[in-house]
Amino acid sequence: MKSILLSILSFLLYTGANSQTIKGKLIDNKSEPLIGATVFVEGTKNGAQTDLNGDYVISNLKPGKYRLRFQYIGMLTDFKNVELTEGQTLVVNMTIKEDANKLDEAVVIGYGTQRKREITSSIAKIGQKELNDLPVQSFEQALQGKLAGVAVTQGSGLAGSPSIIRIRGISSISAGGDPLYVVDGIPMTQDYGTFGNSGGTNFNPLSSINPNDIESIEVLKDAAATSIYGSRGANGVILITTRRATKGQMRVTYTGQTGLSTPTAKPNLVSRDELLNLMEEAWINDGNTGKPDLTKFGIANMTWDDTRKYNTDWYNELTQIGIKNQHDITLSKGWKNVSLFSSLSYNRNETFIKGNSYDKLGGRLNLDYQISKKLKMQLGSSFTNADNNRVYSGWSGGYGLLMSSALPFYPVRNPNGTYFLFNNSDAGFRTNPLMMLDLYKWVTNEQRTIGNLAFDYDITKNLKARVQGNYDYQSISDDQFSPQELNQTTGSDTTSIATKNLRYTNNFNYLAQLSYKYEINKLNKLDIVGGFERQQSITEGYNIYERSASGFITNGEQTANNLKMYIVPSQWKFERYFGRVNFNSHDKYFLNMAFSYDGSSRFGDNNRYGFFPSISAGWVMNEERFMDRFKKLTLLKLRASYGRSGNSDFDPNARYGFFQASSAITYNGQPTLYPTQLENPNLRWETSWTFNAGIDFAFFNDKLTGTFDIYDKRTTDVIMNLNLDPSVGFGNYYDNVGGIHNYGAEFSLRYNVIQKTKFSWNIMANIARNYNEITSTGAYTEEAVSGGTNDTRVVVGMPVGTYYLVRFSHVDAETGRPVYLDKNGNQTFTWSANNRVPVGSILPKAIGGFTNNFKYKNWDLSLLFVYQIGGNIYDASAKRQLGVMSFWNSRPEIADRWQKPGDQAAFPRLTLNPSTYGLPDYWQYNTPMWLYDASFLRLRNLTVGYNLPSSWTKKAKMASARVAVICTNLFVFTNYPGLDPEIARDGEGNINTSRNMQSQGTYYLNAPQERTYNIQITATF
């Protein structure tokens, strides 16, 4: 029908010609005619569309010089200058090239879409193909190295371990530093601290989203892009759009994957005999004689003579080759008025740690229904059921003990068959890891459903309305069972104990929005969006503790045999008015103004609402006449923006003062009433003002394309969970304190090195440099906030996550004692907390990644490298492994130690006494001796794929089929001597503070990442 109309239009235009005319044909680089392309005569109102043959005709032109503009969706806009003489019919044929920059591609921007051409802010996009090119437990892991300025630090190899995502540095201390995640319009529940730091890991709230369901992810980075999310956009916004069906025949795609999991590195520890020699040397160094008394090491249940009886390989006892399986099936079908996308996914992910796996079953149904010509309905729903089979790790035991107090001369079992018990200060629940693995049962189950229902109504041609309701339900049940045998043996209790901790979150979101397109004239247009949004979230739950249990607690009922305590509900409400005006002039000048007026229950009456405006502009400069001489330049677009955004992601109850009445906590059987939290009614938004300027460019017919951005972000009223002087009567208190300054640059590039029919090679690379500085901590000292393990502090003039340590100078050659530096740089044998100074930072100087994609006929090869330049890792476990001898194992580096007067050594004399090192205790050996350069280059992904020839697939009645071998984390180049330079350890204390200030660089007995080898088969029918 459309083609007939076009033909008629062309005919009418043609037959109407009675003067000067320009006509011609538009084709693509494959010589195919372009149907419906637009040809404009700049400076006039004349123009035409091409017909079925790609032909166009423009009549009624006066003689003169003209500039023709040729446009077609997905193709590069091209220009040609012509001169038309009296009575002339000029033929102008053009070959239009494909637009590698996809300037007309739709980009999701929050409450709407824009063409990429119209974008005036800093937005990065990743599509479904790039997102699923490597196997990941959670979708955010797949973003690593692919988007400039988006720092993804992978979690450990432990199942369900969360990553840390930071966009353009860190601008928060105790408010969440993570971006806002919005799935199909609903800001999702994203609490990493659901169960605090249990078992050496935090909870990952993102893992319930199936990466295979995602169509695209847009990352909004600057204030112009995020200000429409107002008070929640300061750390960037990640918009997740799930897949929907398009019209056409039914497509069924199956993707199956199986793989093996191994660690990226094995702990490097000394042998049993080497350890015993070290212990003996320390014993003698301390002036002792005879056989070492193991009680002095903290080993009271073994004598020196027993130590040669056993030689246990705890690594082999606790690790395995994990098996991974994933199966995804999707179904997509579009009818006249209805389209349907559905998926089903099953995932069983064993890790390299025995007993540890993550099993997930998920599904999705996305339905689009055109109810009438003007009314459309969109339905989206997903469900996930995931079991995380947990083990202790990191600080809490299990794999962490491999590198600490599981000594090689300890047996797994005593001669009588009972488990050998460790008897040191790390004992108790963290005792013999094999006993824990065998006897302790622990499963964390997550059930989640995210649903949305939207109606779009075209009130008029240009005025559209949308109402949308969303619901995100998350239920997390953490079940643990410790049998009597374990408890009696460790002395923790005399009976079995079961616990059930349940948290469930109901997150409702409601949106009403109007959008209006106003065409001032053909060249000037306005696009206006305004709306209202309300969100409400409540997290409730309880903890049940049951003695003499026979297994997991199967239901949540309170009985005579258990103790059930409800948690303080975490509830917040949020409402906002937002608006945006886009002005498009000549399709090359763009102005965008947006605002959000937000109200939040997190704040008291005096600070309840905040206003977050932004303005931005863009200019497609290469389409100006004066740029015609730069023939090699196919795109030059300038952008600039300035705006305000906020952060209110912290404890919703923080502003309240609380008293708790209790009949469970009593004195002399009488009920109590006690304060639990200090009030701060003046809490307000954390606010960031951000300036951004960017250039998008392309050269050599888009062979080389790229984007460059600079930004400056100043955050004030930074929310800190302050360490209070304990004499106040409370440990912590939320307040708006100080400021943070981030500024930096991002650069991304794509280069099509070879683009032939049979062979192609392209390179994509990006780098981001961010400077970060705390500008103020108000009236407080560096101690105001600590990163969780006492290693990082808030230091004015230094970055967030600054290591604040006593400097180490050298090992004294005469005595073998370590020599430190005091604050003034003078040498001293005494370590004192008063001498701590800034010595490093968790934040890197630069991050990025580069990908090489090769294609040869049906084969393809892809290599993704990710890297980090600068930043520090503080190996908090090294202070015990290479410090005062105790009940910990040691590392081979200890060979470079002082042994006799005159020795120049890296490490001091061995000793059992912290005082020999001038230390108050062995935990305080916090010096830059354990601070390492965190730079690394990692081959994150290597994929070799083969697409079966269509002649084969047709015979099998398949649309396409592909087989691929995918390997992750094959190797890493780094100077870091530990297991893995990429660290996202569990957060302690305040989870936000910990994740902002410490988790990315401070290592403590964490399991390394996985190295996986996978075979993937994809078949589409």
Partner 1 sequence: MNRIDSHKLLVVVFSAILMITFSGCEKNLDVSPDPSFGLNPNEAIKSASDMQKLLNSCYDACANMMSGQFQVISDLLGDDVTAPLNNDGNATAVYNRSVAQFNGLTNSAYAQPYYTIYRVNVMDLYYEQVAFDVGEKERLQGEAAFLRALCHFETVKMWAQPAGFTTDNSHLGIIERSRAKNEVMLRSSVADNYKMIIDDLQNAINLLPLNNGLYATKNAAKALLAKVYFTMGNYAAALPLLNDVIGAGYVLSDSLNRFKREEVESEIIFGFVTTNSAYDINSRGSVFKSNYRNDISIPVLGVSSELYNLLMADTSDKRKKFVTLINPGQPNEIKASTKYNLNNFATPYLTLTDMLLMRAEIHAIQSNYAIAIADLGLIVKRAYGFGSAKLVSLSSLSGQALIDEVRLQRRLEMHLEGDRLTQLKRVGAFHTPTTVIRNAPWNCAGLVLQFPASAGTVKGFVFNIEGGCN
Length of the chain: 1021
Interacting residue with partner 1 among 14, 195, 315, 656 (CB under 8 A): 656
Interacting residue with partner 1 among 57, 123, 126, 427 (CB under 8 A): 427
Cα(93)–Cα(59) distance, integer angstroms? 16
Nearer to partner 1, 297 or 1004 (CB): 297
Nearer to partner 1, 264 or 886 (CB): 886
117 within 8 A of 587, measured Cβ to Cβ: yes
Minimum Å distance from CB 26 to partner 1?
39
Interacting residue with partner 1 among 661, 756, 904, 957 (CB under 8 A): 661
Q: Does 574 bind partner 1 (CB under 8 A)?
A: yes
Minimum Å distance from CB 558 to partner 1?
13
Interacting residue with partner 1 among 605, 631, 758, 900 (CB under 8 A): 605
513: three-class secondary structure by DSSP? strand
Cα(842)–Cα(874) distance, integer angstroms? 8
Listed ranges 251-259, 386-394, 831-839, 962-970: which one lies at the site for partner 1 (CB under 8 A): 831-839
Using the Cα atoms of residue 955, residue 956, residue 957 and residue 961 in order, give the sign of their dihedral. Answer: negative
859 within 8 A of 832, measured Cβ to Cβ: no
Cβ neighbours of residue 956 under 8 Å, at least 6 residues apart?
none
Ranges of H-type helices in 132-263 = 223-226
Minimum Å distance from CB 554 to partner 1?
20
Nearer to partner 1, 745 or 837 (CB): 837
Interacting residue with partner 1 among 673, 758, 951, 957 (CB under 8 A): 673
Cα(617)–Cα(593) distance, integer angstroms? 9
Q: Does 383 bind partner 1 (CB under 8 A)?
A: no
494: three-class secondary structure by DSSP? coil
Interacting residue with partner 1 among 573, 703, 845, 962 (CB under 8 A): 573
Nearer to partner 1, 1 or 673 (CB): 673
Minimum Å distance from CB 975 to partner 1?
29
Which one-letter DSSP state was computed for residue 462? S
Query: Nearest-CA neighbor of 319 among 372, 347, 285, 356?
Result: 356
Q: Does 797 bind partner 1 (CB under 8 A)?
A: no
Minimum Å distance from CB 938 to partner 1?
34
Minimum Å distance from CB 987 to partner 1?
18
Listed ranges 674-682, 812-820, 838-846, 1001-1009: which one lies at the site for partner 1 (CB under 8 A): 674-682
Listed ranges 157-165, 439-447, 650-658, 954-962: which one lies at the site for partner 1 (CB under 8 A): 650-658
Cα(627)–Cα(32) distance, integer angstroms? 29
Cβ neighbours of residue 560 under 8 Å, at least 6 residues apart?
none
Q: Does 670 bind partner 1 (CB under 8 A)?
A: yes
Which residues is 467 bridged to in the sheet? 455, 512
Interacting residue with partner 1 among 16, 675, 797, 825 (CB under 8 A): 675
Q: Does 687 bind partner 1 (CB under 8 A)?
A: no
Q: Does 559 bind partner 1 (CB under 8 A)?
A: no
Q: Does 676 bind partner 1 (CB under 8 A)?
A: yes
Minimum Å distance from CB 671 to partner 1?
5
Query: Nearest-CA neighbor of 596 among 646, 650, 640?
Result: 646
Q: Does 660 bind partner 1 (CB under 8 A)?
A: yes
Q: Does 293 bind partner 1 (CB under 8 A)?
A: yes
600 within 8 A of 649, measured Cβ to Cβ: no
879: three-class secondary structure by DSSP? helix
Window 877-896: contact mask with partner 1 (x via CB under 8 A): ---------xx---------
Site for partner 1 in 133-152 (CB under 8 A): none
Interacting residue with partner 1 among 217, 765, 919, 931 (CB under 8 A): 919
Listed ranges 7-15, 243-251, 339-347, 570-578: which one lies at the site for partner 1 (CB under 8 A): 570-578
The CA–CA distances, whole Å, from 945 to 139, 499, 967 equal: 21, 47, 12
Nearer to partner 1, 355 or 483 (CB): 483
Cα(1002)–Cα(641) distance, integer angstroms? 35
Interacting residue with partner 1 among 315, 429, 471, 545 (CB under 8 A): 545
Cβ neighbours of residue 73 under 8 Å, at least 6 residues apart?
104
Cα(943)–Cα(608) distance, integer angstroms? 51
Minimum Å distance from CB 852 to partner 1?
48
Measured in whole angstroms, the distance separating CA 692 from the mean position of its chain's CA atoms is 22
Cβ neighbours of residue 391 under 8 Å, at least 6 residues apart?
158, 199, 353, 354, 355, 356, 398, 399, 436, 437, 442
Q: Does 1 bind partner 1 (CB under 8 A)?
A: no
Cα(403)–Cα(392) distance, integer angstroms? 14
Question: Residue 858: what residue type?
Answer: N
Q: Does 571 bind partner 1 (CB under 8 A)?
A: yes
Q: Does 186 bind partner 1 (CB under 8 A)?
A: no
Interacting residue with partner 1 among 15, 246, 271, 425 (CB under 8 A): 425
Site for partner 1 in 833-852 (CB under 8 A): 833-834
Number of residues that bind partner 1 (CB under 8 A): 107
Window 429-468: contact mask with partner 1 (x via CB under 8 A): ----------------------------x-x-----x-x-
Cα end-to-end span (Å), the chain: 30
Site for partner 1 in 67-96 (CB under 8 A): none
Nearer to partner 1, 434 or 806 (CB): 806
Which one-letter DSSP state was computed for residue 32? P
Interacting residue with partner 1 among 98, 105, 783, 860 (CB under 8 A): 783
Listed ranges 4-12, 203-211, 578-586, 778-786: which one lies at the site for partner 1 (CB under 8 A): 778-786
Q: Does 779 bind partner 1 (CB under 8 A)?
A: yes
317: three-class secondary structure by DSSP? helix
Site for partner 1 in 721-740 (CB under 8 A): 722-731, 733
Nearer to partner 1, 367 or 465 (CB): 465
Interacting residue with partner 1 among 534, 703, 810, 817 (CB under 8 A): 534
Nearer to partner 1, 506 or 571 (CB): 571
Site for partner 1 in 320-349 (CB under 8 A): none
Which residues is 710 bridged to in the sheet? 693, 745
Rg (CA), the chain: 32
Query: Nearest-CA neighbor of 1012 among 200, 159, 392, 151?
Result: 159
Minimum Å distance from CB 299 to partner 1?
8
Listed ranges 62-70, 87-95, 515-523, 675-683: which one lies at the site for partner 1 (CB under 8 A): 675-683
Interacting residue with partner 1 among 120, 388, 600, 996 (CB under 8 A): 600
Ranges of H-type helices in 104-241 = 128-131, 223-226
Cα(384)–Cα(361) distance, integer angstroms? 6
Site for partner 1 in 481-510 (CB under 8 A): 490-491, 510
Place of tokens 């003067």: 19
Nearer to partner 1, 344 or 724 (CB): 724
Q: Does 678 bind partner 1 (CB under 8 A)?
A: yes
Minimum Å distance from CB 283 to partner 1?
13
901 within 8 A of 282, measured Cβ to Cβ: no
Cα(319)–Cα(354) distance, integer angstroms? 5
Q: What is the largest CA-CA distance in the chain?
A: 116
205 within 8 A of 191, measured Cβ to Cβ: yes
890 within 8 A of 1016, measured Cβ to Cβ: no
∠203-208-214 over CA atoms, to 5°?
135
The CA–CA distances, whole Å, from 102 to 582, 698, 789, 902 equal: 20, 11, 47, 68
Minimum Å distance from CB 361 to partner 1?
34
